[in-house]
Amino acid sequence: ETSTAGNAAEYDFVVVSNRLPVDHVVDDDGATSWKASPGGLVTALEPIMRSNDGAWVGWAGRPDLDIAPFDNDGIHIVPVPLSAEDVENYYEGFSNDTLWPLYHDVIAPPTYHREWWESYVAVNQRFADAAAAVSAEGAVVWVQDYQLQLVPKMLRDKRPDLTIGFFNHIPFPPYGIYSQLPWRAAIIEGLLGADVIGFQRVADASNFARAVRRLTTSTTKTTTIEVASPGRATRRVIAKAFPISIDSRSFEELARQPHIQARAREIREGLGNPKTIMLGVDRLDYTKGIGHRLKAYGELLADGRIKVEDVTLVQVASPSRERVQAYMDLRDEIELTVGRINGDFATMSHTAISYHHHGYPREEMAALYLAADIMLVTALRDGMNLVAKEYVAARFDDDGVLILSEFAGASDELKRALRINPHDIDGLKEIILQAISMPKRERAARMRSLRKRVLEYDVSRWSTAFLSALAGVRGDRDTAES
């Protein structure tokens, strides 16, 4: 029992996610500090947390840390410890070697291990207990993403007074794929503990509804699910699409700053001022289709349809899940391909691919977006893809061409991007050529339309929509009980 145990249950708004918004990092000299953690989730939720004075329950990003809760920049941080074994079985194993490939259309083969599942259950229970301990009576708890799908039910069993939301940041797969999972029914039951279950796309929500019909006795009617539990009144759960977004204005403001624009010019010069700079920005993940985009670019160079002096590709691939085998294999494959293309086509003054295995701060990303004539998003499957939205938000000059995979959630909204099927290499090559030669007037018209969407549907609109749906369910329940 910690000293705060008696008065810890005081937060009315609690976010629960695998990762805290900050990672605990140790430098080479042994000094420790906190640094913004990777992924789109943090960027999406941070502004809401600041304005809500809530608590955030999550993992600090390293094994075997036992850190007391603390306040960081207006957010109460509640670290959940994971042992080295938990990291291996719950995080690297079940979350990222079972669920991640399964939910992304089995692009990589999912591995099913019973030990990993047991660890997933145990760790989910730990997160649920931690959330229950900080939540005030009647609080709103918002659980995030595929790592914590059992938490809604675990929380409801322990704290029926809470209003519980769940948002799935990644795709929810079609039943034919989902049904492979040996624990498919338990996950659905876990999720149905929430009052509102949010998905990125309408298709994800309907895949989920189908799984509910196949695996439970609950009935579904468009976005409403009637959950029947023995000995209790039926409970109404909403399951629908709430496409996530970014803090668009702040991204635009950043890009407008003179030093960012100067940095963008410097980047162009550093690359030898090619006519066209193409950019890819991804976590180094097999879902992102990085190999497909390299293949298309390499073939265009080999065919002589573009010249290395004219068209440079900048690829930022931020390190991710580096102890999972599929990610090690992917890194080898991508770096081999980059090396081959550069070896075949680079000259003493011009590289073909400027490859960076790093994450960069927001400032540098904004400058890169401004420097890039073409943004390449070629995901084979992606929940949303916030990079596409960041590129659009940064282009206050109404210039730049977005090439966007139809398999990214963002393509439901960004209709005037050049949409592609990344598996179709010839199609991708044609679209790249079309983007290179697109007249300025067409670029501006398309970008204006994309910007309208991204600036209007920003992250605060997303969270407001989700939280109003949650408040609506709670209102109905209060009425029913009184």
User: CA–CA distance from 171 to each of 98, 145, 292 (Å)?
Assistant: 14, 10, 20
CB of 321 to ligand G6P, least distance (A): 5
Give the nearer residue to ligand G6P in terms of CB position, either 298 or 409.
409
Show contacts with ligand G6P in window 111-170 (CB under 6 A).
Answer: 145, 169-170
- The distance between the two most distant Cα atoms of the chain, rounded to a whole number of Å, is 77
CB of 169 to ligand G6P, least distance (A): 4
Question: Do residues 62 and 22 lie in contact, with contact meaning Cβ atoms separated by under 8 Å?
Answer: no
CB of 289 to ligand G6P, least distance (A): 16
Segment interacting with ligand G6P, rule: CB under 6 A, options 33-41, 116-124, 334-342, 459-467 = 33-41
Write out the two tokens for 45: 């939720």
> Kind of pairing, strands 55-59 and 135-144?
unpaired
Show contacts with ligand G6P in window 294-323 (CB under 6 A).
Answer: 320-321
Segment interacting with ligand G6P, rule: CB under 6 A, options 34-42, 212-220, 243-251, 447-455 = 34-42
Give the nearer residue to ligand G6P in terms of CB position, either 106 or 336.
106
CB of 39 to ligand G6P, least distance (A): 3
**Number of residues in contact with ligand G6P under rule CB under 6 A:** 10
For ligand G6P, the binding residue among 38, 47, 81, 359 (CB under 6 A) is: 38
CB of 391 to ligand G6P, least distance (A): 17
Eight-state DSSP code of residue 348: S
Radius of gyration of the chain, Cα coordinates, nearest whole angstrom? 23
Identify residue 298 by its one-letter amino acid code.
G
For ligand G6P, the binding residue among 14, 41, 196, 436 (CB under 6 A) is: 41
CB of 318 to ligand G6P, least distance (A): 9
Give the nearer residue to ligand G6P in terms of CB position, either 170 or 353.
170
Alpha helix locations (H) across 73-174? 84-86, 100-103, 114-134, 151-158
Determine the 3-state secondary structure of 91 from DSSP: helix
Q: Does the footprint of ligand G6P cover residue 19 (CB under 6 A)?
A: yes
Give the nearer residue to ligand G6P in terms of CB position, either 149 or 218.
149
User: CA–CA distance from 392 to each of 3, 21, 101, 110 (Å)?
Assistant: 48, 24, 28, 34
Segment interacting with ligand G6P, rule: CB under 6 A, options 38-46, 329-337, 343-351, 410-418 = 38-46
Site map (CB under 6 A) of ligand G6P, residues 77-116, x = contact: ----------------------------------------
Strand order in the sheet with 276-283: 353-356, 311-318, 276-283, 374-377, 401-405, 418-420
Segment interacting with ligand G6P, rule: CB under 6 A, options 39-47, 126-134, 228-236, 471-479 = 39-47
Give the nearer residue to ligand G6P in terms of CB position, either 40 or 289.
40
Give the nearer residue to ligand G6P in terms of CB position, either 268 or 283.
283
Identify residue 247 by its one-letter amino acid code.
D
Write out the two tokens for 475: 């209102």
Determine the 3-state secondary structure of 415 from DSSP: coil
Q: Does the footprint of ligand G6P cover residue 201 (CB under 6 A)?
A: no
Identify residue 465 by its one-letter amino acid code.
A
Write out the two tokens for 262: 């100067």
User: CA–CA distance from 293 to each of 204, 211, 350 (Å)?
Assistant: 26, 33, 19
Distance CA 444, CA 351 (A): 29
Write out the two tokens for 7: 């008065």
CB of 350 to ligand G6P, least distance (A): 33
Q: By the criterion CB under 6 A, which residues form the site for ligand G6P?
A: 19, 38-41, 145, 169-170, 320-321
